[in-house]
Amino acid sequence: MARRPLPIRRLRFEAYEALSERPHVMVDGAARATSVLTLSHWPQSPTPPVLARDVSAEIVLEYLRILASGRSGARPARGRNDVRALLTAGALAEAVTNDHFDEDGLMSVYAMVDPEAAIAGAELLAAVAMCGDFGVVTSEAAARVSFAIEPLADAEAGVCSGTSERYAAVLPLLPELLVHPERFERYWGADVLGLEAGRTALTAGAVQIAEHRDLDLAVVARTAGASPAARLPGAAGGLPIHVAAVHSATRASRIIAFDGQWCEVYLRYEGWVKTVSRRVPLRPDLAPLALQLSACEPSGVAWQANGVGAIVGWLRPGGDGRSEIDPALIVSVVREYFASAEPAWDPWRAGGGYIPVQERQGYSSRA
């Protein structure tokens, strides 16, 4: 028996640069003046609480389910007023857009463009978004699709192409990629090789993850005796293995990574957005920690940190990323800092995630 079409109006994708006047749905991005509905996990997103999920694709999928339920006359299970507002706002939209191109954004746009197919494949779409944003692999198919998206966009739209060009190039290919990822192996093969090498290294004990749960911190390191000169497939920066192998093995939002002398400290993306499935510690400013570690370097290597509002906060030695500090000392200094540092970023904070310096002392999240 043929599947009955969902009673949901499809939206077309349009470049966000062209939507300065027309009402639209903004997915996985920052609301614009003409956004009649924003479906996003970003800080300051006006997404209704009834839709709150970890990734934007899950938010969009829940919106579509509620929309279908509301239009079919079913009684909403939660947030009746929010649901009515969603139905009203969604009816005003002429298009769907996003202000950047990534895996979560692409799954979100696709769901609005083809809601029936999206709901039928909701589990896969959400898993692709989770892998793309957080590096968490929940299925092999999702990993392949997620790993293929950026290389595919590079190939079809050009490495230096803009957001709109990348959506225009990849959206028509996405149905085939979702159903037949094996046809796109040339785009995901290298990442899958790195993921498998990372899993093997963890299973064999060549790489170990030590969790410090009191600080939501994990230390990822090659075990003693492993040759740091022969880096494993997928290793990058201080990480000794592929990032998805690490993030799929630990939920810790703060990572210290060692691969021989290569080292880095970073704060995962889950702390920048409105993560609702668990409470992620608020991020501190990493700049003071960079000064502390620089002072410990025997030959004066200066550690560098990016800004407080960076999507992924990182801290690493300057130059080629190698440190001469004993790893145990690095862990000790970082632990002490995280235990006492004041928060500098809160995605739930009204008025923006950045917490001004004068407000940080004694700050308490309003999440």
From the CB of residue 274, how many other CB atoms can be counted at a distance below 10 Å? 21
Question: Which amino acid, one-letter code, is at 214?
Answer: D
- What's the Cα-to-Cα distance from 228 to each of 197, 265, 273, 315, rounded to whole Å? 15, 18, 34, 20
pLDDT digits (tens, 9 = 90+) for 298-348: 999 999 999 999 999 999 999 999 999 999 999 999 999 999 999 999 999
Nearest residue to 244 (alpha-carbon basis) of 327, 166, 142: 142
Nearest residue to 25 (alpha-carbon basis) of 68, 73, 64: 64
Nearest residue to 110 (alpha-carbon basis) of 174, 157, 66: 174
Largest CA distance in the chain: 73
pLDDT digits (tens, 9 = 90+) for 52-74: 999 999 999 999 998 887 654 44
Tokens of 34: 């003409």
Could you give the count of Cα atoms lying within 13 Å of 220 in the half-sphere of its Cβ? 33
Using DSSP bridges, classify how beta strands 313-317 and 303-305 pair: parallel, antiparallel or unpaired.
antiparallel
CA pair distance 226, 220, nearest whole angstrom: 14
Regarding predicted confidence, which is higher, 227 or 99?
A: 99
The pLDDT assigned to 367 comes to: 60
pLDDT digits (tens, 9 = 90+) for 196-215: 999 999 999 999 999 999 99
Cα four-point dihedral sign 97, 47, 60, 43: positive
CA pair distance 138, 265, nearest whole angstrom: 25
Cα four-point dihedral sign 229, 232, 236, 239: negative
CA pair distance 290, 271, nearest whole angstrom: 19
Q: Please state the rounded mean pLDDT for residues 86-114.
A: 93
Could you give the count of Cα atoms lying within 13 Å of 278 in the half-sphere of its Cβ? 8
